[in-house]
Amino acid sequence: MPGPDVGTDEPLLSVRNLRVTFQTRGSRAVHAVDDVSFDIHPGQHVGLVGESGSGKSVTSLAIMGLLPRRGATVEGEVSFAGRNLLDLSLRELRAVRGREISMVFQDPMTSLNPVVTVGVQVGEIMQQHYGSTKGEARARAVDLLDKVGIPDPERRVGEYPHQLSGGMRQRVLIAMALACEPRLLIADEPTTALDVTIQAQVLEVLKKLVADTGAALLMITHDLGVVAGLCDNVNVMYSGRIVESANRRALFAEPRHPYTGGLLASIPKLDSPRGSPLTPIPGSPTQVLPWSEGCAFAPRCGNQTEECVSRTPELEPDRGRDLRCFNPLATVDAGAVR
Amino acid sequence: MTVDLPPAGAAQPALVVDSDDASRGGLWREAWRRLIRNPTAILGALIILVFVLVAVFAPLLAPYEPGSTQWSGDVTPTSVPGPSPGHLLGLDRFGSDLYTQLVYGARKSLVYGVVSTAIGLTFGALLGILAGGIGGWVDTVVMRVVDIMLSIPSLLLAVSVAAVLGQNAYSIMIAIGVAQVPIFARLLRGSMLSQGRSDYVLAASALGIRRRRIVMGHMLPNAAGPTIVQATLNLATAIIEVAALSFLGLGESDPAIAEWGRMLVAAQDRFQAAPRLALLPGICIAVTALGFTLFGEALREALDPRTRR
């Protein structure tokens, strides 16, 4: 799947030094997202990868301006088509949300309103952004449900979410997100809550519709397998910062950051002998060093040196990618991490 | 890049079957289905239905005009004539037919209960939607107002309202209605707030849906359940409170216009001689309240997500 031509035109979304701080009274401020920068060009597919708690979902909510105003401080710049989204008023943001930037959420069980029919939920987005009448919105909802591969859409528009399976509901959420053909779609772990077989189907639907509408895609996931089939560029996050940013081919061929290497090594392989144990990354994401003191990944890292726990690594260009590591993996064989 | 879309139904045959069985329909229809299978709900509904029919068809059921005291000559200070062929339940102390008075009393008691609860529900829901739907300082202001209302005893409130509006049926209904406002406001605010934190609200705002639409179209239908249940339960207490306020003499000043609470008052000084004068209206009040309570409880059960399936 060749990615669209990248890098020549202006970025559609440009995130610069994004920092999100959660501060509750009486407790220490937490930087859930720390100095994150990346670009998404029109039509480009970008992955944001990391474990739970790495700050990827908070990044997406910050881009959409959906973080609670009380308790969360968002700094930096999120410019979308030349406008800084962080400066927009609520009214201006509302015109952007759903129409220019849209979002698919993780949990299809709770992201649909249980007492409103799916047709109304899909249709009201058109009513909001295009001023469509109820009838037009319904007709378009049928059309959209058909597009996302829901059989018998005429009947399904009148049904309630609990009458649909998880996969169907996620298709409905995709239909809602793409209703106004946004220029950017943010998908926050859109397949995590689904069975593996359904995951593949839903991903195919997402892929096809994104390709059809020419939307750019920000794919937020912990699953490198999803990224491999979908993204042009990949940003790997750890503890709120990007640790490695590369195009897909380079990242999978030669992971440089030990964390990326660990993520790749933890994917079970078909050709490994039966019964051989999985290769997890040792430790848990709670064992972090604050970035101000060194590398947050150092406590779990096999390549740790004295420098890693005494100095903060910066994101620096390294062999055609950006890397935040003093002691990266050897370049030639990615197998070293196995 | 073209991909053949796998039809979703192929891999999920179960759901096609699923949609044709009892789970068809929304949350409300599902609750209705559970409700009509519940014997408690049926009993409550039957009781309510009987009293409503009696109230509606009072002129057909009652043999005499309400409040007619043509037999007052038969009532002596020591005795009130009991049941006789002409008077099924005997006379009351003013010389009216007790059965007629009870039948017309159903009318008054039900109307007072329903109207006062409707007043409480309307204003309480309005405040609850404001507080829970908008939040922030609006929430703070509204809830402080409600707290102030809660701190005034409802009886005192009723007396004050009666003092301002005069001693009539309206002041009773308004007083009882106003006393119910905080109950509904707090309940609805609480469930609105919890709905406001749900994923579908976040999803709707991520798609640019207007806040007013999210509050009225998404949060309110999900939050309304407990409030509707509370309304049916409040109907029972409202009927009892109407009786209590009439008993205290705050209701209609004309004793001839029947209302169960008023009839209890009238029975006071003849209780020794004719206990049925107090017992019969008392039983009517209790049974009506029971009907609403049973129905309300069953409704609560039907809407409770924990008892589903």
Judged against a pLDDT cut of 60, whether residue A291 lies above it is answered with yes
Would you mind telling me the total number of residues written for chain B in this entry? Answer: 309
List chain B residues with CB under 8 Å of A110: 198-200
- Look at A43-57, A114-128, B52-66, B217-231 and tell me which has the smallest mean pLDDT: B52-66
**Among A64, A124, A177, beta carbon nearest to B209:** A124
List chain B residues with CB under 8 Å of A208: 1-3, 5
Query: How does the average pLDDT of chain B come out, rounded?
Result: 80
At B232, the pLDDT band (50, 70, 90 cuts) reads confident
Q: Does the global pTM surpass 0.90? A: no
Tokens of A232: 């042009």
- Look at A164-178, A295-309, B16-30, B164-178 and tell me which has the smallest mean pLDDT: B16-30
More confident residue, A286 or A334: A286
Residue A314: Cβ within 10 Å count: 12
Residue A18: Cβ within 10 Å count: 22
At A70, the pLDDT band (50, 70, 90 cuts) reads confident
Handedness of CA B13, B15, B18, B20 (dihedral sign): negative
- Look at A136-150, B170-184, B268-282 and tell me which has the smallest mean pLDDT: B268-282
Output the pLDDT for position B123.
95
Question: What average pLDDT does the segment A137-161 reach?
Answer: 92
Output the pLDDT for position B1.
43
Q: What is the 3-state secondary structure (H, E, C) of chain B?
A: CCCCCCCHHHHCHHHHHHCCCCCCCCHHHHHHHHHHCCHHHHHHHHHHHHHHHHHHCHHHHCCCCCCCCCCHHHCCCCCCCCCCCCCCCCECCCCCEHHHHHHHHHHHHHHHHHHHHHHHHHHHHHHHHHHHHHCHHHHHHHHHHHHHHHHCCHHHHHHHHHHHHCCCHHHHHHHHHHHHHHHHHHHHHHHHHHHHCCHHHHHHHHCCCCHHHHHHHHHHHHHHHHHHHHHHHHHHHHHHHHHHHHHCCCCCCCCCCCCHHHHHHHHHHHCCCCCHHHHHHHHHHHHHHHHHHHHHHHHHHHHCHHHCC
Nearest CA in chain B to A158: B25
Output the pLDDT for position B279.
87
> What span, in angstroms and rounded, lies between the C-alpha atoms of A114 and A118?
9
Nearest to A109 by CA among A179, A185, A165: A165
Query: How does the average pLDDT of chain A come out, rounded?
Result: 87
Output the pLDDT for position B256.
61
Nearest to B101 by CA among B296, B274, B271, B278: B278
At B309, the pLDDT band (50, 70, 90 cuts) reads very low
At B42, the pLDDT band (50, 70, 90 cuts) reads very high
Output the pLDDT for position B257.
66
More confident residue, B304 or A307: A307
Tokens of B114: 């329903």
Nearest CA in chain B to A156: B19
Judged against a pLDDT cut of 60, whether residue A297 lies above it is answered with yes
Whether A64 sits inside 8 A of B206 (CB atoms) is yes
Question: What average pLDDT does the segment A68-92 reach?
Answer: 90
Whether B218 sits inside 8 A of A113 (CB atoms) is yes
Question: What average pLDDT does the segment A152-180 reach?
Answer: 91
Instruction: State pLDDT tens for residues B91-109.
Output: 777 777 888 888 888 888 8
Output the pLDDT for position A160.
87
Nearest CA in chain A to B13: A165
Q: What is the 3-state secondary structure (H, E, C) of B229-248?
A: HHHHHHHHHHHHHHHHHHHC
At residue B260, what are phi and psi to the nearest 5 degrees?
A: -55, -40
Output the pLDDT for position A171.
92
CA distance A108 to chain B (A): 9
Cα distances (Å, whole numbers) of residue A251 to A176, A194, A302, B86, B246: 32, 26, 19, 100, 82
